[in-house]
A and B are shown apart, each in its own frame.
Chain A
Amino acid sequence: MKSTYVYAVGNQSYQFESLADVMAKASATKSGDNLAGIAAKSDEERVAAQLLLANIPLKRFIDEPLIPPESDSVSQLLLEEHNNEAFQMVENDTVGDLRNRLLSYEMASDDLAKLADGLLPEMVAAVSKLMRNQDLILVASICNVVTKFRNSLGLSGRLSTRLQPNHPSDDERGIGASMLDGLMYGSGDAVIGINPATDNVQSLIRLLGHIDELIQRFAIPTQSCVLSHITNQIEAINKGAPVDIVFQSIAGTEAANESFGVNLDLLAEARQAALSLNRGTVGDHVMYFETGQGSCLSANTHHGIDQQTLEARAYGVAKKFKPLLVNTVVGFIGPEYLFDGKQIIRAGLEDHFCGKLLGLPMGCDVCYTNHAEADQDDMDVLLTLLGVAGCNYIMGVPGADDIMLNYQSTSFHDAHYLRQVLNKRPAPEFEAWLQKMGIMDAENRLLPVTVKHPLLLELTS
């Protein structure tokens, strides 16, 4: 029998068409859900949906899949991967019960790690809709997700950075200059990752060779990535290029992934190709995924599901492939999906929480575009909150200004700010390298350098 969804507030009765409708209307305000025409029509309706959602048993998400597995391979994957044994801990909970349970003193890191396999992304999204920002931060701060390739990322008390030395025409010297700038500021332990301006396979191979040479020459305990389409990276591997980890943007529906030119088989193929090179030294997490609320709607493939739930489903996809890094590029998509600083901050915290609760190594591109109602002050708020929440890594872009992708992210300086106020350190292997190279001292402070520094001699010659 089909469930009915009604909630009365005084004399006003709110009716919802389906579980998906309850989820959409219970979501925090997002311009993207308004654009999709699925958001609550009033604040009271939003809270009515949340009150109703709080009483819905978690089991309902198994019995009434938001998108039927027969019509979507992502739904099929999520249900297949759902671990019933791990689910037992919460199988009689409602969504509201789960919130209380997650916040209780009894919930330790180990319990959260075990629970990760027993929760469907939709359950995680649901509970996040009942949480205020501090709840999202508190629970995420207790989740520990550690991944490894040439270093160990996500350890407690650590904050890593992706060094992002983009250049608008992929000029090698321009990229090299930004790369050096970042390394001299202690950035790059999560990955040195370039977004190429063109998707030419030859130039992809050349850029990969360029970073690899630097990593080898100075024995830098980190990994490289050129964020081209996954099919290009597979082609590069086949041509013998030094690929450390493989990147791809992914989303929460089969059709959205199709619009990115990927499917689950292709992701599996890429992972196998990267594993076959056996380039990791301390671990074999070889995948790097980027996501962001709104991508399904942007590709017109949202099935009437709210953007935050779809984002959590993308994490379910990521999880299958044991990634080294997952990055929610939260403010990149623009004001039609996340209108202003308030929405971007909320989305960043939701994404980090959902990813961590599902057991993923979450990083966040704390960012905004020039057509959004946001500025550096908003980014400082999100950055600080994510630091407190235990975010694995953030981006490192020279002066916070990405001159290729035309948006503002976090700077090398920003990472130091966060490390100073929260006493966080880079990944241990990378921290040791920075000290050995005379870039940072044991107090986590930048050291003065001269033109004779070996990295400067190498890259300026």
Chain B
Amino acid sequence: MKTQLTKQMKKVVSVDPWLALKEFTTARIALGRAGSSIRTEDWLAFKLDHAKARDAVHSELDEAVLESCLTGLNSQIIHVQSQINSKSDYLKRPDLGRFLNTDSIARLNNIQHGADLVIISEGLSAMAVQSHASHVVSALLPMLKSSNWSLAPIIVAKYGRVAIEDDIGARLHAKMAIILIGERPGLRSSDSLGAYLVFGPKTSNTDANRNCISNIRESGLSYEKAAETIYYLLNEAKSRQLSGVQIKDNRTLVELGIG
């Protein structure tokens, strides 16, 4: 099926003369057309990608693999779980994914109150967390340690939603919490990681109280840039004692390295 078109087929399908622009984006551009419809090979390629993404959504986090990636970071790891017990319930009941189950609450007993929290949850892509979370954390931790942030052990929260950072953070009286979480898979990015930070975690917080950094993955936002942005926003939030829409990323393009 690849692009070897027979002479006869060249008459019924059109090729777009801007194929070279594919270099600049992974978007499905310059597909060409049959009439004005999508060509057979592109349609089936789309279907295959959708099939892969569907499979990714239903995959489970391998906690042992994640733990081995995190062991080099010299940070204690605590495993907890939300009130969800299966992937299918996770998809249907976001409300239960925002709170810890009873066993997990007990597991927080030995953590010092008032520290800052880094939480990891597989969200909608276990692959994102397994591939990228440890890299982002290892880029971020040295920055935080060098400027005297006090960090609690890393918390891995199974079946967590973003707002589980509020439940955990409130229980530990954390000043700041950040959760690294697998974003819902796209057709070409089933491994995209997001980070959501909140100042003063509490269960009455809404999404307007959070700052989000998304698309952390190989062909998206790099680990270093992601960590720098997180660090910038954490410091802004700390100095202004708030997070969310009132915090603006006002760094210049030169500071961002894209000017």
Which chain A residues have a beta carbon within 8 Å of chain B's beta carbons? 31, 35, 165-169, 171, 173-178, 180-181, 184-185, 197-203, 206, 229, 231-232, 235, 258-261, 298-301, 334-336, 339, 369-371, 375-376, 398-408, 411, 413, 416-417, 420, 445-446, 448-451, 453, 456, 459-460
Contact = CB atoms under 8 A, between A and B. Distances in A.
Contacts of A402: 186
Contact of A401 (B57, B186, B248): B186
Q: Which of B20, B187, B253 has the most CB of A within 10 A?
A: B187
Contacts of A399: 27-29, 31, 38, 42, 46
A429 to B, nearest CB: 21
A38 B229 CA distance: 41
Contact of B46 (A370, A400, A420): A400
B109 to A, nearest CB: 28
Given A178-B25, A336-B94, A376 B46 contact: yes
A199 B249 contact: yes
Contacts of B93: 35, 336
Contact of B206 (A231, A259, A407, A408): A259
B91 A335 contact: yes
Given A235-B248, A334-B184, A371-B184, A406 B192 contact: yes
A181 B33 CA distance: 12
Contact of B214 (A177, A197, A456): A197
A398 B28 contact: yes
Contacts of B169: none
A371 B31 CA distance: 26
Nearest to B88: A335
A299 B98 CA distance: 12
Given A169-B220, A298-B94, A370-B53, 16 more contacts: A168-B215, A197-B220, A200-B256, A260-B207, A334-B91, A336-B92, A369-B184, A370-B57, A370-B186, A376-B50, A398-B27, A399-B42, A420-B36, A445-B36, A446-B14, A451-B17
A201 B252 CA distance: 9
Interface string B118-150: 000000100000000000000000000000000
Contact of B36 (A258, A417, A460): A417
Given A35-B92, A199-B249, A336-B94, A178 B27 contact: yes
A202 B25 contact: no
Given A259-B207, A370-B186, A203 B25 contact: no
Majority DSSP secondary structure for residues of B touching A = loop
A376 B256 CA distance: 38
Given A411-B38, A413-B38, A184 B18 contact: yes
Nearest to A444: B36
A197 B245 CA distance: 15
A449 B46 contact: no
B107 interface: no
A235 B247 CA distance: 13
Interface in B164-189: 183-189
Given A168-B215, A168-B219, A370-B53, A403 B188 contact: yes
A416 B36 contact: yes
Contacts of A165: 27
B33 A408 contact: no
A173 B219 CA distance: 15
B86 interface: no
B105 interface: no
Interface in B232-259: 244-246, 248-253, 256, 258
Contacts of A260: 207-208
Contacts of B189: 168, 403, 406
Contacts of A175: 25
A365 B95 CA distance: 26
B74 interface: no
Nearest to B36: A416
Give the interface residue-count category, chain B. Answer: 35 or more
Contacts of B208: 258-261
Contacts of B91: 334-336, 371
Contact of B25 (A167, A405, A420): A167
Nearest to A182: B29
Contacts of B111: none
Interface string B183-214: 11111110010000000000000111000011
Interface string B6-27: 0000000010111011101111
Nearest to B95: A35
Contact of B37 (A200, A336, A416): A416
B5 to A, nearest CB: 15
Contacts of B48: none
Contact of A448 (B14, B248, B249, B250): B14
B221 interface: yes
B27 to A, nearest CB: 4
A451 B215 CA distance: 33
14 contacts: A166-B27, A258-B208, A259-B208, A260-B208, A261-B208, A336-B91, A336-B92, A336-B94, A399-B28, A407-B184, A413-B37, A413-B38, A445-B36, A456-B17
Q: Which of A199, A401, A456 has the most CB of B within 10 A?
A: A401
Contacts of B256: 200, 203
Given A169-B215, A413-B33, A206 B186 contact: no
Contacts of A261: 208, 244-246
Contacts of B229: 198
A181 B30 contact: yes
Contacts of B188: 401, 403
Contact of B185 (A171, A185, A202, A370): A370
A260 B184 CA distance: 21
